[in-house]
Amino acid sequence: MSAVLANRSLQLSAPEAARLIRDAVGAGGELWVSGSGQSMHPTVRHADFVLVGPPGPDVHLRDVVLIPFGPRLMLHRVVEVQKEIVLTRGDARERRDPPVRRVDVVARALAVRRDDIVTPLTLTMRFGFAGLVRFLLSESVRRARQARAMLRTGLRKLKRDA
């Protein structure tokens, strides 16, 4: 005999969610979380599920990390690491976020799930060969977009200075 359980959602405030995520990843666990907003588009879209895990001893350039941002949590990409400070920015943003202490990084994003398709956010075979290919393609597209944005910014600056 099997019991059918109704789907239930848990609504937590940002500090409660941060505590739950910290406890889970601090114990070496992983957790699928859903967020809102467009700052990480197209890597992470509104309502995508993101697998987060322990940040590990080191935070690396291009990692996607979960960090505190005022009373909320924010998932953004590491753009610079300076000793004990981490600088982040959303993929869809031009400006960097305020600096965060390395010890305040809550978790590291491992993969994104959109519909039933999982795309790793790091170079790994954990999600199969197709996942690896999706990572390589999405990373190539992301870097091309970043290069075009830097070129546009540089051209605007040249025009302004001329």
**Residue 6 — pLDDT band, cuts 50, 70, 90?**
low
Predicted confidence (pLDDT) per residue in 77-103, tens digit: 999 999 899 999 998 898 999 999 999
- CA dist 126 and 122 (Å) reads 10
- CA dist 126 and 121 (Å) reads 11
**Which domains occur in the chain, in start order?**
14-161 (2.10.109.10)
Cis peptide before 71 (omega within 30 of 0): no
User: What predicted TM-score, i.e. pTM, was given to this entire model?
Assistant: 0.78
Q: Which tokens sit at 7?
A: 């789907």
Helix (H, G, I), strand (E, B) or coil at 18: helix
